[in-house]
Chain A
Amino acid sequence: MTFWKILIILAEGAGYTILVTIAAMVAGLAVGLLTAVLSRLHRKYVDIFLDVYKYIFRSIPVLVILFLVYFGLPGIGIRVPPFLSMVVSLGLVSGAYLAEIFRGAMAAVSNNEMMAAEAAGLKRTQIFSHIILPQMFRMSVPGMINEFTSILKYTPFAYTVGIPEIMKAAMTLAAMTLRGLEIYLAAGIIYFVIYKGFIMMFAAVEKKFHIPGLLVE
């Protein structure tokens, strides 16, 4: 079996890897965005709830959360399918990190601009959607890319719940052929290609939406 052949076999698992990555990213963004909206309410109990959520999901390893969701929840009568377990776990974890990134970016939006919008007679919801959100997203791009990288880094965990992604394909192949060295090297290459592909896509998106003077940090 040539190295090329190994690459092709493993690449078949890449579809699931990409699917898990995108689904988790979308889930994470949705959760992160929700926390951003909720934090604008400035309600004490909401803020405490958000802090607790962020603290929990930034402190417990992804693998432990995934096992809790997939193997643990059935114990109290909740059965979560493999793919959903993976997306929920990764989504909640990256949502907690994105919440922090979004919070920092929102704090960087100029108070003067918000006061100007208020003085012009824009509604609070309009100020949020037309002034705060567009700036927050742009300033969060580097943080979002880091978060995406973390998600990709954790997707191999999907094999532990039986999702046939790259790692699962690699392990099966390794068990059959005993050529672990080439196979895991090939897996590494495929992951790196996926990583580079996503990074290039992000760079293109960032360039398209780039605004002079709207700097990060």
Chain B
Amino acid sequence: MNVFLNDLIAYWPQILMGLKNTLLLMAVMSITGFFGGIGVFYLSISKWEIVRKWTQSYISFFIGTPLLVHLFLMYYGLPRLGIHLSAFTVCVIGFTLNVSAYNARYLMTAYRGLHKSELDAALAQGFTPFETFRLIILPQVLRLSVPSLTNQVIQNIKDTSVAFLIQYPDFFTQMQEIAAVNFQFFKAYMTAGLVYMAMVSVIVVAARKMERQIALPGLQT
């Protein structure tokens, strides 16, 4: 254990940088995925059938194919067209497309449980369809989806570890390198697991707190 601890201390700056990269990626994709999800959701309840159909196909495709394939496609495939993207950019684009699809699906589920008479009331009162979306639909649907959306953030932090497979220097990559130096794979991965658990726990606590704050009486899933 001593050797391993010494290595952890020796590689501390690198580990810290890895953690920073992991958290950065998680934060960026959670934000882009959140707004992306709202955008995709907006399209998925469009009044034009063709838009709804294409949006459904988009959601279905990104949920039905592994994220890794999209990352590889952009990271190893695009250079052939002369497009060279950094690992970080590839991750942000790939994760955003993926997370948006999932978030849009959660919002769709919540939307189906909404009282449609409220929407008629808003339109009858003179709100435009977009105002109805922004002022009536979205505030309710977002609140109803809070548990799913926060679960997605937890999923996001775990999925950042995939970025290691396209050489993004995240936390898991750094632990991997330490293990490669001292051959203490078991301890390295155990440590990695514990750190991920700690990060997830922080998100869980924060999410519960937020859920309580934005709850409205009578509006429940």
| Binding-face segment, B6-14, B31-39, B119-127, B192-200 | B192-200
Instruction: Assess whether A192 is in contact with B80, with CB atoms less than 8 Å apart.
Output: no
Instruction: Assess whether B63 is in contact with A71, with CB atoms less than 8 Å apart.
Output: no
B69, CB-defined interface residue at 8 Å: yes
Instruction: Assess whether B186 is in contact with A167, with CB atoms less than 8 Å apart.
Output: no
Which of chain B's residues have a CB closer than 8 A to the CB of A62?
158
Instruction: Assess whether B197 is in contact with A59, with CB atoms less than 8 Å apart.
Output: yes
A152, CB-defined interface residue at 8 Å: yes
B189, CB-defined interface residue at 8 Å: yes
B81, CB-defined interface residue at 8 Å: yes
Q: Is the interface of A mostly helix, strand, loop or mixed?
A: helix
Q: Is the interface of B mostly helix, strand, loop or mixed?
A: helix
Q: How many A-B residue pairs have CB under 8 A?
A: 120
Which of chain A's residues have a CB closer than 8 A to the CB of B136?
none
* Given A64-B189, A181-B78, A188-B70, 9 new contacts (CB under 8 A): A63-B165, A64-B161, A72-B189, A75-B183, A75-B184, A153-B66, A181-B73, A184-B77, A192-B61
Cα distance, A65 to B159, chains bound together (Å): 12
Minimum C-beta distance from B219 to chain A (A): 16
B185, CB-defined interface residue at 8 Å: yes
Minimum C-beta distance from B162 to chain A (A): 6
Which of chain A's residues have a CB closer than 8 A to the CB of B76?
174, 180, 184
Encoded as 1 (CB less than 8 Å from any B CB) or 0, chain A from 66 to 103 comes to: 01100111111000000000000000000000000000
B172, CB-defined interface residue at 8 Å: yes
B87, CB-defined interface residue at 8 Å: no
A156, CB-defined interface residue at 8 Å: yes
Cα distance, A195 to B66, chains bound together (Å): 10
Cα distance, A170 to B162, chains bound together (Å): 17
Instruction: State which residues 61-98 of B face A: CB under 8 Å.
Output: 61, 63-70, 72-73, 76-81
6 pairs, CB–CB < 8 Å, chain A vs chain B: A62-B158, A64-B172, A73-B186, A75-B183, A154-B66, A155-B66
Q: A68-B186, A187-B69 are in contact. Are A59 and B77 (CB under 8 A)?
A: no
Which of chain A's residues have a CB closer than 8 A to the CB of B80?
178-181
Instruction: Assess whether A195 is in contact with B65, with CB atoms less than 8 Å apart.
Output: yes
Which of chain A's residues have a CB closer than 8 A to the CB of B221?
217
Encoded as 1 (CB less than 8 Å from any B CB) or 0, chain A from 144 to 162 comes to: 0000010011111100100
Q: A65-B193, A179-B80 are in contact. Are A60 and B72 (CB under 8 A)?
A: no
A130, CB-defined interface residue at 8 Å: no
Which of chain A's residues have a CB closer than 8 A to the CB of B159?
61
Which of chain A's residues have a CB closer than 8 A to the CB of B164?
63
